[in-house]
Structure formats: structure tokens, C-alpha cells
């Protein structure tokens, strides 16, 4: 995509991110660390091939903020500009993001990455009602702001299910969540992608298909009916 088109996407995402950072709805099953806003929406386009096709990566909800991140928001504010500061200062280097970035590298995804979550507040496991409310309020608009040809990589079953509802004609491929109880399964998936050329080609074919749905299980990728 052109630089001008990417800047327009960045502007639209920034507007949504600024709005969600001010959301004060008291949804069940989630909370935010002291001083930390609802967050999780970042368009990463630094050090990437801007002209390449991008991708949307969807997680469940943000992890609990580290002390330094809480301090940053306390000192500088909690809007999208400050969230980008936190991203550059270290959020992008936490295992969740580095492991998913490794997945994108294996799949030869070189364009911009729209990082987002189904729910935007911290919590161990947001209930379905919270995920539905938040995704309808924000994620649906995030998907609308991104080019239609960008596929979706979903981290975890909940993110995969929500993305399937929101993605319309986009391709959605779901992998295990890279951290937590399914981290070992995710690492096995990475190992297989690195070492199994047929499997890697299958995933690349799916990424470049229109409207494909695949949940990548322990063995073969399984097509899931819509």
C-alpha cells in the first residue's frame, strides 16, 4: 500500500485508540492497573516494508502493566501518544509480542501490523459478555479502518471466535495463545512451521486466500465452518 494510504489507516486507528483510552465503562471480569488506560491497539509500521500487505493480530486482552508502564502513564498521560511511547519503550519486547512477531517472520509477513485485542482492559479471562461489548464497540471499527486484504492472525480460541464474527470476508487463522497455559502448544506450532515446508506453504496459501477460516490445532490445520 502507498505511504499516504498507510498514514490514513494510522490516523483512523489513532482516533479509535484515543477514544478507547477514555472508556470508563465498568465491564465485568476486567480491570486496569493504577493509572493505566484501556489499551491494546497499536499500528506498528516502523521498520517494516510499508508497501507490503499488512496483517491484523488479535489477542484476548492486554496483560497487566509493568510498574514502569504505570509510571509512564502517570507522568505523561494515558492517551494514544503515550501508549505508543510505552510500546517503543518496551511493551513491544514482552514475550507475547516477540513470539507472535516470530510467527509473522516465519510466515514472511513484512508489512504493517495492527495489534489489537478483543477486550481492551486487563483481566485474567474476560467473560463472553465483556468480549462482545468491547469488540462491537471498538474492534469492529478497527477492522473497518484497515485494508480489506489484510488477513487476521488470532492468538487463542476466544480471539479466533471473535475475529470470525468481525472479519467479514477477511481470512482468519487462529493459533494457540503464545503465553500462559498454551504456550508450549504455540511453541510446537512455531517449530512445525519452521521445519515443515508443506505445513508452512499451507499456512501461506491460507493467508493469501479470501475469507479462509483455519484453526491451527495440535496436528493439521482444521477448516472450521462459519
Condensed to tens digits (0 to 9), the pLDDT of residues 153-166 reads 999 999 999 999 88
* Cα radius of gyration (the chain): 17
How many residues are recorded in the chain?
Answer: 226
Q: What domains appear along the chain, each with residue ranges and CATH number?
A: 3-33+40-66+92-223 (3.40.470)
Q: Which pLDDT belongs to residue 218?
A: 53
Looking at residue 1, its pLDDT comes to 62
pTM attached to this predicted model: 0.90
Give the pLDDT confidence score for residue 195 in this predicted structure: 92
Distant-in-sequence, close-in-space partners of 192: CB < 8 Å, separation ≥ 6: 199
pLDDT of residue 118: 92
Mean pLDDT (10-residue bins), the chain, 226 residues? 79 92 78 73 79 89 87 87 91 94 93 93 81 89 93 94 88 92 89 92 89 75 38
In angstroms, the Cα distances linking 205 to 11, 45, 160, 189 are: 31, 24, 18, 17
Amino acid at each position: 500500500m502507498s505511504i499516504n494510504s498507510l498514514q490514513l489507516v494510522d490516523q483512523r486507528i489513532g482516533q479509535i485508540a484515543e477514544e478507547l483510552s477514555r472508556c470508563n465503562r465498568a465491564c465485568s471480569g476486567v480491570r486496569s492497573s493504577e493509572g493505566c488506560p484501556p489499551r491494546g491497539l497499536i499500528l506498528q509500521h516502523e521498520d517494516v516494508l510499508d508497501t507490503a500487505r499488512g496483517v491484523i493480530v488479535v489477542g484476548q486482552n492486554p496483560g497487566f502493566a509493568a510498574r514502569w508502564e504505570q509510571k509512564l502513564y502517570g507522568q505523561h498521560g494515558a492517551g494514544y501518544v503515550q501508549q505508543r511511547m510505552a510500546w517503543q519503550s518496551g511493551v513491544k519486547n514482552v514475550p507475547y509480542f516477540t513470539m507472535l512477531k516470530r510467527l509473522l517472520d516465519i510466515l514472511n509477513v513484512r508489512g504493517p501490523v495492527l495489534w489489537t485485542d478483543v477486550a481492551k482492559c486487563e483481566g485474567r479471562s474476560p467473560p463472553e459478555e465483556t468480549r462482545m461489548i468491547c469488540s462491537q464497540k471498538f474492534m469492529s471499527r478497527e477492522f473497518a479502518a484497515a485494508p480489506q486484504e489484510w488477513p487476521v492472525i488470532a492468538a487463542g480460541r476466544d480471539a479466533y471466535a471473535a475475529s470470525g464474527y468481525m472479519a467479514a470476508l477477511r481470512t482468519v487463522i487462529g493459533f494457540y495463545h503464545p503465553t500462559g497455559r498454551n504456550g508450549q502448544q504455540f511453541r510446537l506450532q512455531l517449530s512445525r512451521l519452521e521445519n515443515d515446508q508443506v505445513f508452512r506453504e499451507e499456512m501461506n496459501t491460507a493467508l493469501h486466500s479470501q475469507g479462509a477460516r483455519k484453526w491451527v490445532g495440535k496436528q493439521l490445520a482444521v477448516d472450521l465452518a462459519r
